[in-house]
Structure 1
């Protein structure tokens, strides 16, 4: 790896742009009704759609299975006493049901990530080269189309459904890299934490709303409507995205001159037209690999809980699917709320108190990774105290929201012009936990005992601690020399 850039070498980049002197201080444009905050909210809607389409199958799967393959519904096998719930009323459901065994179900639920990992780096490259708007738009639109085709694919067979889910992952794989590339042109440095946390809170909202709502749709209608309803919501987003969003402030038809100048002047020392991409410098960058390790570690816990939290609620705490739909959503409500508030605090610390970027990013990463690890381990020792267990799980995920203003935004600090490519690289590694973590967790919890789940929580916590330590030692907040405009002009 290249030698790390020292903090002294990055002093110029570390100093907030809004405090470099009156002569080059950008004239701040108001946030209310601005184009940049409009982009934040419509992209939030986009990530809401993306995550709703990602998690709705895990709920619908319960209704898609023949009753003889769903297992017991009285929760007599749970480690803790079952909690009473209203009996499900009889419905005249016409949707098909299937006799898929547990192995087939596992392949169906995990197939999304096999497509998702394929388009991370290509997505970042294409967005940086050709613009992010249509790549993001058509990526989610493709996922919407295949979601609408899910009932047909399921009727054709499990293989067809797996193929559809892989293609959904391919479409969604470009979303995060494309959005990072767009924010590189839209987010003033002193507003990055605010704008990006608003944007990516959509992922939390999509999870929070899709989990219980999918259960209610299955309860009152049937499982096919889960895909039709969320697919329709996605089509509405694509229309709004097509009409209201532009690749950069220079081509936006409705942005004010004041806001355009504010954004371009804030970024003038960081962005320029891209020449040849410095792949060797990127792949040997110590700060980038610090983000990779942190992202991988954080996602191990995130994907394990995302996939298995309903199982834990059912098999250990004795909640039915209907009951744990909302309980499983609570951690993501907390995470999204903390992410938005943390973004405000992070930018406030950098702008008002002049804390260096690297200090803020590392502090928020430590809280956002070590905090969840502590409460996750504590969850394993709550026994059948379901109130304490749900509280600890919620606090664990909520504290994870601080990482949104930590390593998660660091790509834009160290190389804004290549942020999409960098996010593609880190998210490729961070997708592996979604493919491996839940499988390993289920292998360790064959008997669904509390001791087995304690092992799962310890493993996740240990990986989180390692990631936080590695990022604290090797992460940086300064614009890297190979990403500076003058470095690119020399290569050109």
Structure 2
């Protein structure tokens, strides 16, 4: 199949951006609609929707799983509430009744915090090994098994809860262990699939499934808990993950070279635009140069900082909606989901805009990544602080939370995909490193939140939001100063270095 305008893909003239990134001529780009790379992004989108649904459903279900929300009366009063109860709730308890035969458990706020953070203990362990193996072998098998394993374990949640909180903690940690390979596997696959001018939109589309999954899961979990009982949440979500895995293993390939349904035009375009960076790395890695890489540490620190706010809301927002604002379980799930709807839309649109700015050379790759990181983190921090001072005003609280997460979604095409800019061949391994550090807030944030809010006061929650906002600002500052979009010297292959030297010599002679 001949490329547009009769040009040969392999002979299409390449130019370089200010960051030294190869840019292929626009006329040589095959249509993205219904392409293999777009289908891959859509399947990834669905996969991350599932795994984030599996990750956050406990946050809402926890409200229904505990039979006493506040077993230790705050301020020496069993009737103390930070905000006044809605009309008609004055004489009711905080317990959400479940259908007959559905058990509930007397877990205090500290226990709940540990259970909500348990997932991330396992999640920490498989990021780096998953990224390394995905970069060497290809990421499809690791992402598929990661989702399938997490879904299968989710089916056992009601049994583990019945056996005790320690068993549930262990199960959630195992779920995190399985899911830890998914994001590094995604990055390793895009290193072989995503042309440089399409990276932002393809990766934000696939990664935005995380926000969409949270948006969909939170209200559905509340609805299911009140109608079918909380165990049904884990059976339905686990079943959805197993079903997704069937389609993934049938339709996905590690590399465009081995894909059975890709057109020759698209395959040649992807391969020629990526060059040798679009292949897997060997067993050896440039570990010392990575360790000393300032741009890599800028990504690590910035992701840790921005993830603190994200994981605080992801794991603790339903508790805030229940204990402070006293929303019923269905409203709790819906309102807790609104911030993720905004983040999903913002991240997807920002990916398209980022690619447009790079393709039209309005800004360099470095400046685009910094621009969207600053835009996402700084205003998001300001709105988090505003939440802490909204008091018991339901409308203001929900509005500020939604604005914070929506604006924060624009950082998806900033620091969160920067690994593939600085070292495409090692992108999966680098994401494993950065996501390992970035998961530490997932472990600590629920525990710190539980410590600050054990008395269920507005002052305690205000400290939670101030802390998250301050850490967000630090991340934006670090990435603005030290971040980069240039391929690092240690990531350049010998073949690329020789070709670059040849091109420079030719340029000088000319």
Same-fold status (TM-score > 0.5): yes
| 1:392 is the counterpart of 2:395 | no
What are the ranges of 5 or more consecutive residues in structure 1 without an aligned counterpart? 1-9
User: Per the alignment, in what secondary structure is the counterpart of residue 96 of structure 1?
Assistant: coil
Q: Does 1:425 align with 2:426?
A: no
Provide the residue aligned with 1:303 in structure 2. 311
Task: Find the partner of 1:83 among 65, 82, 86.
Answer: 86
**Which residues in structure 2 correspond to 1:383-462 (within 5 Å)?**
383-462=391-470
Q: State the distance in 2 between where 1:60 and 1:85 align.
A: 23
1:268 counterpart SS class? helix
- How far apart, CA to CA, are the structure 2 residues paired with 1:44 and 1:316? 33
8 Å contact 1:338–1:399 — kept in the other structure? yes
Q: State which of 136, 142, 146 in structure 2 corresponds to 1:139.
A: 146
Q: CA deviation at 1:15?
A: 5.1
> 1:395 and 1:12 mapped to 2: Cα distance?
34
SS in 2 for 1:270: helix
1:61 and 2:68 equivalent?
A: no
- Residue 32 of structure 2 is matched in structure 1 by 31
Give the aligned partner of residue 46 of structure 2.
45
Report how far residue 284 of structure 1 moved.
Answer: 1.3
Given that residues 115 and 169 in structure 1 are in contact (C-alpha distance below 8 angstroms), is that contact kept between their aligned partners in structure 2? yes
Q: Deviation at 1:13?
A: 6.6
> Runs of 5+ in structure 2 lacking a partner?
1-14, 499-510
- Cα gap change, 1:266 to 1:378, in 2 (>3 Å): same
Q: Is the 8 A contact 2:192 2:279 kept in 1?
A: no
Q: TM-score, normalised by structure 1?
A: 0.91
| Aligned residues of 1:272 and 1:485 also touching (Cα < 8 A) | no
Contact 2:387 2:401 in 1 (8 A): yes
- Quote the residue 2:225 is aligned against: 218
Q: How does 1:142-161 map to 2 (within 5 A)?
A: 142-161=149-168
CA contact (8 A) 2:16 2:22 kept: no
Q: Which moved more, 1:269-278 or 1:218-227?
A: 269-278
Note if 1:17 corresponds to 2:8: no
Give the conservation status (yes or no) of the 8 Å contact 1:47–1:199.
Answer: yes
For 1:170, which of 171, 177, 182 is the aligned residue?
Answer: 177
Deviation at residue 90 of structure 1 after TM alignment:
7.4
Q: So what's the TM-score if we normalise by structure 2? A: 0.88
Q: Deviations over 1:115-145 (max 9, x none)?
A: 0000010110110111111111111111111
Residue 210 of structure 2, aligned match among 203, 208, 213 = 203
CA contact (8 A) 1:27 1:258 kept: no
Task: Specify the SS of the correspondent of 1:447.
Answer: coil
Per the alignment, in what secondary structure is the counterpart of residue 18 of structure 1? strand
Distance 1:403 1:478, change over 3 A: same
Moved more, 84-93 or 305-314: 84-93
1:267 matched residue in structure 2: 274
User: How big is each residue's C-alpha offset from its partner over 1:91-128, in whole Å with a ceiling of 9 and x where there is no partner?
Assistant: 74323333444443333222111100000101101101
RMSD: 2.4
